[in-house]
Amino acid sequence: MRGKQHYWFGILLCLCFTRGDAGDVMGFDSTAQSLVVPIESALQEGLAIDWPQIERLYDSQQHRYIWHREGELSERGRLLFRWLASADLEGLDARDYHLNHLLGLIYNPSPAVIVNRELLLSDGYIKLARDLRLGRHDPQSLDPHWMLPRDDFDPVTVLAQAVAEERLQPLLDSLRPDNDGYLRLKRALARYRAIASAGGWVTVESDQTLRPGDRDPAVVLLRARLAGDLPRLEGEVSDPYHYDDALIPAVKAFQLRHGLAADGIVGSATLRSLNEPIENRIARIRANLERWRWLPHELESQHLMVNTAGFEISLINEGRVVFHKRTVNGRQERQTPSFSSRVTHLVTNPLWTVPRSIAVKDMLPRLQQDSGYLASKQIRLYGRLEGQWIEVDPHPIPWQEYHENNFPFVLKQDPGSRNSLGRIKFHMPNPHQIFLHDTPARGLFERPNRAYSSGCVRVEGAEQLAGLLIDHGQRSQSGWLRRALHSGETLIEPLSKPMPVYLTYFTNWVDPSGEIHFRPDIYQRDTALMLAIGEGVEQMTARHLGRMVNPSL
């Protein structure tokens, strides 16, 4: 790196203008030494310059200036400067793209400043283009469970093409994610920053639970806090201290948007959510905008999107949500990872071969207490005898002698009403052994926090989803699904058109109606990301920071 810096001192410190019919070309003359001070000064101020990319960029331009014309900032340069200055709108920090330094140079006509300004504009472009297209931070350094592949992207090549075709504006517009989820969340960031600039929201101070029908001074604060959710009423509220019927739907709407039990009762959890500082909300929005940038730039036009933090699944068709249901996914110690795959097969009335980790961690302790446990769950036990797997009786086995390292058995659960996979399994090849499936435990879908599985994703409305995936294909298979489900047999059918699926982790989002939703950070993945994007410790509650040390908080 130091050798590359010295190379660029040898080139950039000698740049000046030579004018001619070919335009402003980077060349050499006797005034070059006057540029040493401004460039050295800029570097000494801590500016990190991507020298290899800068070298490639100006090689592609035959060492011509890109952002200047006849010694002045060109319209192209002014366009780039405005784009760099707007980085904050994307949830990024414009200072990372040399904005503060450029502000001091942007109108300076001195020849000694031109190369410095050119360099900072180019490096700012390279960094912001890369950050918008791929994300500001490496996903796995902050979230080891995020395993979606990153796009191949070369900011220099696309800029060289855009300059040649005079299409800079379309290029800049194309770099950020162009899907509705990102754009809606970006608009929400602007709204929340406006709320913060106006002083934030009212703090609801109460040391007791507020229920419908109560009279309490805190109800005045609650009403003010939920002003946007309250119905329009004629005249003033007759009793501002009374938790009346008009306030109930406003509280329930807030609870639904924040992943709380929508009971209309303002208990400790609802009160904490009401009073979370606006700065925390802004930090979370910025963190989730970054996650959008981690996704592939162009999601396939028809795909499944599973949001494990929101416990939901959606089928998207050409930007339109055609299926949206609740999910149950991995608990804290067995988190559902984020990755992409394709649903390739439907399995009806599946036989469940119990993963070894579940067998030894979950089922063995129960067997040690009750040898009849397997029969109660319609699970068969298999042991190896003379090279063959045969079914064995679990009752005479001394289960106390077995543990995680010497467990020699395989467990299989028969198809049926008690099968943990329900009636349908959605097979999707991946190295994590994660798939989507139905479940007999449908009551779990009614709970706000649905982190109960061992990693796989249980889907509400599984039969409806299977029908939609079949309709997505080129040939009709709907008759097969109906017959297969009623047969009671384990049947496997490949989808004529596999469905892309993205498993993600978004703790806030904006729905198509414009309502913003927040969810608890069930896997404690927000904190590291919030710190990385530049949110100060003082903007995060002690509870959130405590989770970095003690995940059980």
Question: Residues 303, 437, 517, 544: which is the catalytic one?
Answer: 437
Q: Measure the CA–CA gap between 152 and 107, rounded to whole angstroms.
A: 36
Q: For residue 396, how many other CB atoms are within 10 A of its CB?
A: 7
Nearest Cα residue to 228 out of 253, 265, 194? 253
DSSP string for 505-552: --SEEE-TTS-EEE---TT--HHHHHHHTT--GGGS-HHHHHHHH-TT
Q: Is 437 a catalytic residue?
A: yes
Give per-residue burial for 475-498: e unless 16+ CB within 10 Å, then b: eebeeebeebbeeeebbeeebeeb
Helix (H, G, I), strand (E, B) or coil at 324: strand
Q: Measure the CA–CA gap between 175 and 178, rounded to whole angstroms.
A: 8
429 within 8 A of 305, measured Cβ to Cβ: no
Q: For residue 299, how many other CB atoms are within 10 A of its CB?
A: 18
Please name the residues in contact with 81: beta carbons below 8 A apart, sequence gap of 6 or more: 73, 102, 106, 121
Q: Measure the CA–CA gap between 176 and 249, rounded to whole angstroms.
A: 37
Nearest Cα residue to 272 out of 287, 288, 259, 283? 259
Residue 358, amino acid: I
How would you class 21 by CB atoms within 10 Å of its CB: exposed for 0-12, middle for 13-18, buried for 19 or more?
exposed
Alpha helix segments (H runs only) across 393-541: 462-472, 478-487, 526-532
211 within 8 A of 243, measured Cβ to Cβ: yes
In this structure, the strands spanning 388-392 and 410-413 are unpaired
Query: H/E element holding 365?
Result: helix 364-369
Q: Is 16 a catalytic residue?
A: no
**What are the structure tokens assigned to 12, written together?**
């950039």
> In the block, which residue shows the tokens 């994300």?
135
Query: H/E element holding 161?
Result: helix 155-165
Helix (H, G, I), strand (E, B) or coil at 71: coil
Q: Measure the CA–CA gap between 28 and 14, rounded to whole angstroms.
A: 6
Question: Residues 145, 242, 258, 456: which is the catalytic one?
Answer: 456
Residues classed as catalytic = 437, 456
